[in-house]
Chain A
């Protein structure tokens, strides 16, 4: 028995043979052909095969993610049969006597070059599409197996890490779990595994040599352990665990399509927190009602310089159109404190949690804010957008931020660019100041969302990142819960809704409390949606409300 430890990023247990992902290499051989007619027919056959494969991918994407996702592959199809593209290949084969692989490769370079030199970031990115299509044709010419899994039985897939175009082509019915050398919890492999509901373990480095191919393994995504040739005891223990998880998941899956409604008819919106457009399939897969917090920071963190308006617009638009009519709350830039970005050149601070961060940066550096708001309003035409400002402490901040929104709307109107006239604007309640003046703030905005991590940290004057303060950092503290109740009361008096988008939202021991104090929305990670729905459907608010509210006000053990 061999045990290896990695980091589990998607729960579940799987038994099966290890299979190493085989990536087609891009090298091609070049030679002169004698029979150019035969070579041309080879190309035509490969081209037809590629078009057929792309058609299948388009149908698969349509079934999994809708028409928009399918269009990508349909565009690739059209590129593969483009008249100029074909003519260039034909010329290289028939006149220059190049072999088909070389002819396609050269043609790809030529067209990619045309796109790459265009004066438009969007078109420049299309160079990758031409290359993608061409390597598919070359792969077919070379006889590479598409989808990378050439095994008659389902396997545990081992890879260094997988690119999005690779994950989408995998034959999902052949995969029991993922094991990768590199990757992170937010990598495509991790997201795919969570969406598929199968285990994934990452960060194994070079612990799995390629000659382990075909050996029986057991992986446990909750602990990150990979066991090869497990002994009977380990095997038995993990089998039991697998059965239990399967039962739980089946029970949860039955909740899909059902309302988040308590026994006595109180409804709660259950939304998701996401960090990138790639998380949307997991949101939809877990049947969430919308997105309660889209952290826009990833756009800034993944760049070496300020992301442009167009770049941001595309990302927001993608999420909004993928979510259709469901609400999407996008939080404006929230950096500073624990999230630092080099090119912002922010001076070092002694106390960054209380420093120049989030909305404060946006108000101090209006040009950054302006770009983001323009991208957001432009994207609003493609879905149901709500904009949320983080780290509010005063009324004037909200008014100044709203003024910027008005300016942006006016500009877009003057430029004839369409945007939705029904974009709701809300704020995060994550400082005690905002909670205390929430009666005034509620008159300025359309909704509140409580960030419980920061609200706890600021209320209890307790750094949440200091490991020595673990027992002092208590989000269940009566002070925090009383503030939440106060925020709810003030919101409802002014006819606006209030949510929680911090980790506390998924804390099932507080679900009854949240329902009792009148929280309208909980935004949690995609995986927590169904467990939360199950909990909500078990509660009878009328039975617990009085007791909970009384405890909140009189609890002698107030922590």
Chain B
């Protein structure tokens, strides 16, 4: 399992648009992706649960990637966060 931390810089946080693009991105990989903020964790494929976390600008989240293609997937997903959120 690979994990990385990321601090959200987008002023609106993980809102519908980037959450939607994120789900699309994650679907490309076989690995299961979990997003954790504080005590709460969600499967990042679940769009509404992800939006329901209310992740805002300045929040630090932990993303864990678990599966056969986790090395590549974790790097690409981290890039995605840097470029979009």
Any chain A CB within 8 A of the CB of B16? yes
User: Could you tell me if B54 and A84 are in contact, using CB atoms closer than 8 angstroms?
Assistant: no
- Specify which chain B residues have a CB less than 8 angstroms from the CB of A82 in the assembled complex: 46-49
User: Could you tell me if B46 and A75 are in contact, using CB atoms closer than 8 angstroms?
Assistant: no
Any chain B CB within 8 A of the CB of A338? no
- Specify which chain B residues have a CB less than 8 angstroms from the CB of A126 in the assembled complex: 16, 51
B interface footprint on A120-142 (CB within 8 Å = 1, 0 otherwise): 10110010011000000000000
A interface footprint on B40-81 (CB within 8 Å = 1, 0 otherwise): 000101111101101010000000000000000000000000
Determine the distance from Cα of A122 to Cα of B54 in the docked complex, in whole angstroms.
10
- Specify which chain B residues have a CB less than 8 angstroms from the CB of A122 in the assembled complex: 12-13, 15
User: Could you tell me if B47 and A123 are in contact, using CB atoms closer than 8 angstroms?
Assistant: no
How many A residues have CB within 8 A of the partner chain? 25
User: Could you tell me if A83 and B45 are in contact, using CB atoms closer than 8 angstroms?
Assistant: yes
Minimum CB–CB distance from A394 to chain B (whole Å) comes to 35
User: Could you tell me if B48 and A111 are in contact, using CB atoms closer than 8 angstroms?
Assistant: yes
A313's partner among B11, B49, B54 (CB-CB below 8 A) is B11
A interface footprint on B1-29 (CB within 8 Å = 1, 0 otherwise): 00000000101110111011101100000
Minimum CB–CB distance from B38 to chain A (whole Å) comes to 14
Determine the distance from Cα of A120 to Cα of B51 in the docked complex, in whole angstroms.
11
From known contacts A122-B15, A416-B9, infer whether A84 and B51 are also in contact, taking CB-CB under 8 Å: no
- Specify which chain A residues have a CB less than 8 angstroms from the CB of B9 in the assembled complex: 416
Minimum CB–CB distance from A466 to chain B (whole Å) comes to 46
Q: Which residue of A lies closest to B9 (CB)?
A: A416
Minimum CB–CB distance from B17 to chain A (whole Å) comes to 5
Determine the distance from Cα of A313 to Cα of B49 in the docked complex, in whole angstroms.
26
User: Could you tell me if A74 and B52 are in contact, using CB atoms closer than 8 angstroms?
Assistant: no
Chain A interface SS verdict (over half):
helix
Minimum CB–CB distance from B19 to chain A (whole Å) comes to 8
User: Could you tell me if B11 and A130 are in contact, using CB atoms closer than 8 angstroms?
Assistant: no
Determine the distance from Cα of A111 to Cα of B47 in the docked complex, in whole angstroms.
12
Q: Which residue of B lies closest to A68 (CB)?
A: B17
Determine the distance from Cα of A262 to Cα of B36 in the docked complex, in whole angstroms.
61
Interface size of B as a range: 20 to 34
- Specify which chain A residues have a CB less than 8 angstroms from the CB of B15 in the assembled complex: 122-123
Determine the distance from Cα of A525 to Cα of B56 in the docked complex, in whole angstroms.
39
- Specify which chain B residues have a CB less than 8 angstroms from the CB of A75 in the assembled complex: 16-17, 19-20, 47
Chain A residues 402-444 with CB under 8 Å of chain B are: 416-417
Minimum CB–CB distance from B20 to chain A (whole Å) comes to 4
User: Could you tell me if A120 and B13 are in contact, using CB atoms closer than 8 angstroms?
Assistant: yes
User: Could you tell me if B16 and A129 are in contact, using CB atoms closer than 8 angstroms?
Assistant: yes
User: Could you tell me if B11 and A71 are in contact, using CB atoms closer than 8 angstroms?
Assistant: no
User: Could you tell me if A118 and B16 are in contact, using CB atoms closer than 8 angstroms?
Assistant: no
- Specify which chain B residues have a CB less than 8 angstroms from the CB of A378 in the assembled complex: 11
Determine the distance from Cα of A257 to Cα of B78 in the docked complex, in whole angstroms.
42
Any chain B CB within 8 A of the CB of A114? yes
Chain A residues 73-88 with CB under 8 Å of chain B are: 74-75, 78-79, 82-85
Determine the distance from Cα of A120 to Cα of B45 in the docked complex, in whole angstroms.
22
User: Could you tell me if B11 and A417 are in contact, using CB atoms closer than 8 angstroms?
Assistant: yes
User: Could you tell me if A78 and B52 are in contact, using CB atoms closer than 8 angstroms?
Assistant: no
Minimum CB–CB distance from B54 to chain A (whole Å) comes to 5
Any chain B CB within 8 A of the CB of A25? no
A79's partner among B17, B45, B48, B54 (CB-CB below 8 A) is B48
User: Could you tell me if A83 and B13 are in contact, using CB atoms closer than 8 angstroms?
Assistant: no
Minimum CB–CB distance from B37 to chain A (whole Å) comes to 13
Any chain B CB within 8 A of the CB of A119? yes
Q: Which residue of A lies closest to B19 (CB)?
A: A75
User: Could you tell me if B49 and A119 are in contact, using CB atoms closer than 8 angstroms?
Assistant: no
User: Could you tell me if B49 and A71 are in contact, using CB atoms closer than 8 angstroms?
Assistant: no
Determine the distance from Cα of A361 to Cα of B11 in the docked complex, in whole angstroms.
29
Any chain B CB within 8 A of the CB of A20? no
Minimum CB–CB distance from A63 to chain B (whole Å) comes to 19
Determine the distance from Cα of A115 to Cα of B51 in the docked complex, in whole angstroms.
8
A115's partner among B20, B52, B56 (CB-CB below 8 A) is B52
Determine the distance from Cα of A313 to Cα of B9 in the docked complex, in whole angstroms.
16
Chain A residues 39-96 with CB under 8 Å of chain B are: 71, 74-75, 78-79, 82-85
Determine the distance from Cα of A122 to Cα of B15 in the docked complex, in whole angstroms.
8
- Specify which chain A residues have a CB less than 8 angstroms from the CB of B51 in the assembled complex: 115, 123, 126
A85's partner among B16, B21, B43, B48 (CB-CB below 8 A) is B48
Determine the distance from Cα of A114 to Cα of B24 in the docked complex, in whole angstroms.
23
Can you offer 27 A-B residue contacts whose CB atoms are under 8 A?
A71-B17, A74-B20, A75-B16, A75-B20, A78-B47, A79-B48, A82-B47, A82-B49, A83-B45, A83-B46, A84-B46, A111-B48, A115-B51, A115-B52, A119-B54, A120-B13, A120-B56, A122-B13, A123-B51, A123-B54, A126-B16, A129-B16, A130-B48, A310-B12, A313-B11, A378-B11, A417-B11
**Chain B residues in the interface with A (C-beta under 8 A):** 9, 11-13, 15-17, 19-21, 23-24, 43, 45-49, 51-52, 54, 56
Given contacts A83-B43, A84-B46, A120-B56, 20 further A-B contacts (CB under 8 A): A71-B20, A74-B20, A75-B17, A78-B20, A82-B47, A82-B49, A83-B45, A83-B46, A84-B49, A111-B48, A115-B51, A118-B54, A119-B54, A122-B12, A122-B13, A123-B15, A123-B51, A126-B16, A130-B48, A417-B11
Closest 3 CB pairs of A and B: A75-B20, A78-B47, A75-B16
